[in-house]
Amino acid sequence: MSNKSLRILVTGAGSGIGAGIARELAAQGHELIVTDLSAEEAAAKAKVINDSGGKATAAGLDVTSDEAIAAFCKQLAGPVDVLINNAGVQHVSRLEDFPMEKWDQLVQIMLVGVARLTRALLPGMREQEFGRIINIGSIHSLVASAYKSAYVAAKHGLIGFSKVIALETADTDITINTVCPTYVKTPLVEKQIADQARVHGISEDEVIETIMLKPMPKGVFISMEELAGICAFLTSPAARNITGQAIVVDGGWTVQ
């Protein structure tokens, strides 16, 4: 694996998986660009990285806005080596009760936003003849859960999007892959536990045991170290021919 320091942009890095991956990759010596819809949260996470001896800058970024992305890209000094599309939100509701503006918001952030930002950064990657695009998908890129129609649709879409961009970038040293973990203990998942308990009429402990961990033969939450390690591998020379793939991190869920 290469020891070369890479310039890595992570979206939705103000909290949860994005913050964890940014922190881990910075500890490996990479330069991080920490972005989040909340500029304050992004700045706070970049400060933690810098205070611990890493190198990070921060910016507020709305991936649903062409104008915001264009303005952000103008401020970038030089190309981005690695783009980690992680920004995400969740809404748990049966379709009949699902507000369509909320449905659209989820798809705009987690699918259209990924296309917007990837489209904006690809020319720089092409120019330097190197780029790694890593989409943070989900087990829900492969299977479904009730009451998550927008999330599951958006995460399934990432795999199709990645396959197409893999073909479009096959003429240069650019790869795109989708990492698909089961549940990672984040604030988003903590909120889901409460939402699922309400929708299903069961306790939060039962949600963890019967809905989240029961389908996983290994029966444990996925760690930030695992996700960051997979991202680091995908940026390495050893992974230069891995593209358009779904990297499934599911404790055996989908082999049953």
Q: How far apart are CA 133 and CA 74, in angstroms?
A: 20
The pair of structure tokens assigned to 58 is 């921060």
Q: Which of 103, 130, 151, 161 is catalytic?
A: 151
DSSP H or E run through 7: strand 7-10
Sign for the pseudo-dihedral over CA of 36, 39, 44, 47? positive
Report the candidate in 146, 91, 160, 141 with the shortest Cα–Cα distance to residue 253.
141
The total of other beta-carbon atoms located within 10 Å of residue 146's CB is 13
Sheet of strand 55-60: strand arrangement: 55-60, 31-36, 7-10, 82-85, 131-136, 174-181, 246-249
Strands (E), 49-115: 55-60, 82-85
Specify the amino acid at residue 65.
Answer: S
Q: Is 147 a catalytic residue?
A: no
Which amino acids are annotated catalytic?
151
